[in-house]
Amino acid sequence: MENKDTLGRIVAIDFGQKRVGLAVTDELQIIATALDTVHVKDIFDYLQKYVLHENVEKFVVGQPRNLDNSASDSQIFTEPFVRKLKKQFPQIPVFRVDERFTSKMAKDVILNSGIGKMARQDKNLVDKVSATIMLQSFMQQRFPTENIK
């Protein structure tokens, strides 16, 4: 499925103890879009199928940090996941991105989107939007916009 005119997709992963939020770029790596929320036990099967059908260039995984930039308690769950991800997909590099405030930002985005109260309370939506925010942050760090005068 590879096309020389396109880059591979970047898949962002917001790993949680119960659910995993996923976001993905288009093949030109211009737009980040929410992809799905998957139960933690199903994530590797899901990624295996996704990688089989899509050209994935890299993974971006949230790195839980405290406000003082020290490692968060959540890293005891994310680090084994990242090790297994690298082992299962050795051809796809894994990048880490600070995920502080992404859930709060996701809730704010959802609140301001105008969707109904029941939909806003959907934790799956928060996970997908959090992954999308992480992916946008990663893309902005790689391709910073120029200061236009």
Nearest 5°: phi and psi at 74? Answer: -65, -15
* Domain at 9-142: CATH architecture: 2-Layer Sandwich (3.30)
Is the model more confident about 52 or about 120? Answer: 52
Task: Give the span between the Cα atoms of 115 and 138, in whole angstroms.
Answer: 27
pLDDT in tens, 69-123: 666 667 778 899 999 999 999 999 999 987 765 666 656 665 666 666 666 566 7
Strands 56-63 and 9-15: parallel
**Segment among 31-45, 81-95, 130-144 with least mean pLDDT:** 130-144
DSSP 18: S
Is the model more confident about 68 or about 108? Answer: 68
Type of residue found at 25? T
Residue 2 has pLDDT above 50, yes or no: no
Question: 78 near 64, Cβ under 8 Å?
Answer: yes
Is the model more confident about 64 or about 130? Answer: 130
